[in-house]
Amino acid sequence: MRKSFVFILTLFICVLLSQHLLAQSFTLNGNGARAAGMGYAFVGVADDATAISWNAAGLTQLYSMEASVIGRLSFGSLTTDYQTFNWEVDRSAGFKLNFASFVVPFSAGDYNIVGGVAYRNIYDFTQKTENMLSNDFGDTYDFTEDENGGINAITPTIAFQLSDIISFGAAANILMGDYTYKFSDSDGAESETNVDYSGFFMDLSTLIKPTPQFAIGANFSLPHTITFDAKDDEDEWVTERKVPLFFSIGAAIKPTENFTIAADYRNRPWSSSEVEKYTINGVEYDGSDIPEGWFDPYPDANSFHVGLEYLIEAGKTFVPVRVGFYTLPTIDREEPQPDQDNKDADQISYNAITAGLGVVMSTVIIDASYEYIFGSYTGDYENVSGNDTAVEYSYSDSKITLGVTVHLGK
């Protein structure tokens, strides 16, 4: 009896910890191998086609047609110790398109105007986890979670250079995407959930360069609504969630022509997002009718980023070397119950170190980057017996990003 009770308790904790991992899903997925190598400190740099996703105003620094394509691979692990229990997770994800773009500059008098369009993977949910749960009494339980999909955007963009110092940009993000979650365990149990996403939002941005050696940039993602249309084996539900204003600010300094130092702050107040409308199996609730506790606020995702880039000259070829650091916010639920309000829960952040290399030839640029995300902490939880207990987490994740940019003419 004791073994059965202990193992049921273990499974309960496992479900709660899965909710903890899900809280990280809505951390924005940065675009670009070059930006990744610099710790995603790119709002004040924004001098290639990936500026569409960071600071569209930076496109005015381009003077030739440009096309780019970028892919990403990620994998990682999580180990959790809960008193006499252990939960080990190995995570893998396939290589996925991260970004693709085409931009065209043209002149208007003395100043530059750049138009473009991009495909952006904004939130990436694709991963497959192999989970092994065990306790000190010899019980084991294995299960697999196979997740595919994400939220993507088609983004037409325009950028205007108003003077030698200041530029403005606007990007229209047409959201679309899907998500499939499949669960299977060693006892033969299976389930599947499918979600479709839709929405629209505008990015407005500026880049100010008082000197060639210094730039400061800002990007504002205007408030918008994301629609989640989901169904599983039993139910179908539609959620309309209003997302508040997001913003990023960044600065870049070039002590020399070949050396760049950059830093960004990214504000993502997810805890202020609200469910405007919810429909389940044809029954509709608006924001005022939704019963309290049905939806927890998402955790905030504010982050800091710093990066360096140095260009090594090799004849007519340049080899950029990049390093960076950033924080990856997550959340610690003090008492992770289904009806808990997350807004007052403790915020914690994992850390990430990044590195990247590139090859810049006359018309082709190849970039590669590696990110290592890591963290550990102890969270206090209330178990099914009503007692507080400590759960120790150890988390690591790796991402590899590869990109190719082609200049198509002057």
CATH of the domain at 156: 2.40.160.60
- The b/e string for 382-404 (b: 16+ C-beta within 10 A; e otherwise) is bbeeeeeeebebebbbbbbbbbe
* Residue-level pLDDT at 273: 87
52: helix, strand or coil: helix
Q: How far apart are CA 25 and CA 331, in angstroms?
A: 12
Among 54, 33, 37, residue whose Cα is nearest residue 45: 54
Q: How far apart are CA 295 and CA 342, in angstroms?
A: 10
Cβ partners under 8 Å of residue 24, min gap 6: 328, 330
Helix/strand/coil (H/E/C) assignment for every residue in 353-410: EEEEEEEECCCEEEEEEEEEEEEEEEEEEECCCCCEEEEEEEEEEEEEEEEEEEECCC
CB 64 within 8 A of CB 408: yes
* Residue-level pLDDT at 380: 61
Query: Which tokens sit at 370?
Result: 């590696």
Q: How many domains does the chain have?
A: 1
CB 225 within 8 A of CB 198: no
Return the sign of the alpha-carbon dihedral for residues 310, 326, 21, 186: positive
Q: pTM of the predicted model, to two decimals?
A: 0.85
* Residue-level pLDDT at 178: 93
Vertex 73: Cα angle to 61 and 154 (nearest 5): 50
Enumerate the β-bridge partners of residue 373.
352, 397
Q: Mean pLDDT, consecutive 10-residue segments, the chain of 410 residues?
A: 45 46 56 95 95 96 92 76 67 83 87 94 85 77 86 96 95 94 87 92 97 97 94 87 95 96 94 88 80 72 94 91 91 42 57 95 93 79 58 80 87
Q: How far apart are CA 316 and CA 157, in angstroms?
A: 32
* Residue-level pLDDT at 28: 67
* Residue-level pLDDT at 171: 97
Range of the domain at 264: 2-407
Q: How far apart are CA 126 and CA 144, in angstroms?
A: 14
* Residue-level pLDDT at 162: 92
Q: How many CB atoms lie within 10 A of CB 322?
A: 25
Among 242, 232, 241, 235, residue whose Cα is nearest residue 280: 235
CB 280 within 8 A of CB 235: yes
Among 371, 367, 358, residue whose Cα is nearest residue 402: 367
* Residue-level pLDDT at 362: 84
Q: Which residue has the tokens 């207990």?
A: 389
